[in-house]
Copies of this chain bind each other. A is one copy, B any other.
Amino acid sequence: MSRVRLPAVVSHPVRLLPLSFLMLILVGTLLLLIPAATTQSGSAGFVDALFTATSAVTVTGLATVDTSAYWTPAGQGIILFLVQVGGLGIVAISTVLGLFIGGRLGLRTRLVAQTEMHVVNIGEVRPLFRRVAVIMIGFQLAIAALLTIRYREEYFETWADALWHGYFDAVMAFNNAGFSLNADSLTTYAGDGLIILPICLGVFIGAMGFPVLAELFKDWRNPDRWTIHTRLTVWGSIMLLVIGAAAFMALEWSNPATLGALPWHERIISGIEGGVMPRSGGLNSFDWGAVQGETLSMGTVLMFIGGGSASTAGGIKVTTFLLLGFVILAELRGDPEVSIGNRSIGPAVVRTALSIALISVMLVTSTTWLLMLLTDFSFEDVLFEATSAFATAGLSTGITPDLPHSAKLVLAALMFIGRVGTITAASAFVLRRRVTRYHLPEEQPIIG
């Protein structure tokens, strides 16, 4: 621990993040309350506008109303804008915080040097923000192009319609936000690999997170030289995708309400979707309310884990999840240090990971409990919904529109906390770099 005072830019984003997101949600709510935004007579309901704005800004995708019928194209454009700004904001801010935390991309030493003079050159951060925006929007445009061509070919009469749907869906996919211009999300396209697979690719890449994408761009040929963070995220994401898709197919293969209705090659496409989407995508070509109980619990666990750090995905994050696995491994083996590859992981990081996991469990558990008090839905539906909100995943068994106002507000709060909270918690780690002036005597309570 070095004797470093924190520069304003570090403590700033940490405090600024919740505030700026709150502002954005407020602006979004007001915009959605404009009568032209809704097809209803008068303006939209306040709670629904607030919920939709929160869901969009946190790139979740849970919807209390039918996006295609309740909102006009103007309203849908506002949602698109909120998702775009929210997604960029999350990735950019958490990337900058990540640099301070993890010292990746070689920036850390420079920043520390500046810190000691209590001067930070904001000019060093701006090109990074620009790079984040260019990479993210580039990916979105590429996927939008693929979708537009297929939409024009198969589903829409005009290029204008195809482009609007293609661009909207690409932005949603890459930002891991689950809003759709169709009442039934992707159901019309179920089994169409030229639609489902690009969308899944968008979700998967968006869920990697900017630091990983940036490192892959620079050095994808040499997996041996990747940082631990990139290795954990890449291999962990692939592992979760393969396990999730395989288990989904095994459980749902003969379920007539989901995969069972499709020819076998389309079942594989939907199976891949079933493995990708809970990693925080939120779009669906089949009904999550109709899957087996076992599939629903698996989806709950996948949503809870979520995607990569500094990405548009939520959850406790792949690195946190894998790191905790390595901690358990070290504990069972009796190793004095937690090591991954040939790097050791310090106890402060272990403590942060632990805290994030436990706070998340407590948040989801207490929200589930609250929703049980407020509604009559089944335990598994309510647990799935709460996990989806916390992990900003956006999947639902279909109960969202039927929730009472109180439950909608609880879920909106959880989306906000789930999105802003884990980043803030991770950043608190930075704030701990301070001088310890004394040590208390140690004592070891019996554990277990």
Contact = CB atoms under 8 A, between A and B. Distances in A.
Interface of A: 1, 98, 101-104, 211, 227-229, 232, 293-294, 297-298, 301, 309-310, 316-317, 319-320, 323-324, 327-328, 330-332, 334-340, 342-359, 361, 365, 368-369, 372-373, 378-380, 422-423, 425-426, 428-429, 431-432, 434, 436, 439-448
Nearest to A381: B379
Contacts of A372: 293-294, 297
A442 B101 contact: no
Given A294-B369, A352-B447, A448-B320, A436 B336 contact: yes
Contacts of A1: 336
Contacts of A293: 372, 379
B331 A351 contact: yes
A207 to B, nearest CB: 14
A444 B103 contact: yes
27 contacts: A1-B336, A98-B446, A229-B445, A294-B372, A323-B447, A327-B354, A327-B358, A328-B359, A330-B351, A331-B429, A332-B355, A332-B428, A336-B348, A336-B434, A337-B440, A338-B351, A343-B440, A345-B442, A346-B444, A347-B351, A349-B447, A350-B351, A354-B354, A356-B447, A378-B379, A426-B447, A429-B447
Given A334-B428, A338-B351, A351-B350, A294 B373 contact: yes
Contact of A328 (B330, B355, B443): B355
Contacts of A423: 448
Contacts of A365: 297, 301
B337 A436 contact: yes
Closest 8 CB pairs of A and B: A347-B347, A426-B448, A344-B440, A343-B443, A331-B355, A422-B448, A309-B446, A229-B445
Contacts of A441: 342-344
B426 A319 contact: no
A374 to B, nearest CB: 10
Given A357-B358, A428-B334, A339 B444 contact: no
A228 B445 CA distance: 6
B448 A344 contact: no
A344 B445 CA distance: 10
Contact of A344 (B229, B330, B443): B443
Nearest to A431: B334
A372 B380 CA distance: 12
A102 B444 contact: yes
Contacts of A297: 365, 368-369, 372, 379
Contacts of A358: 324, 327-328, 357
A193 to B, nearest CB: 30
Given A294-B373, A432-B336, A319 B443 contact: no
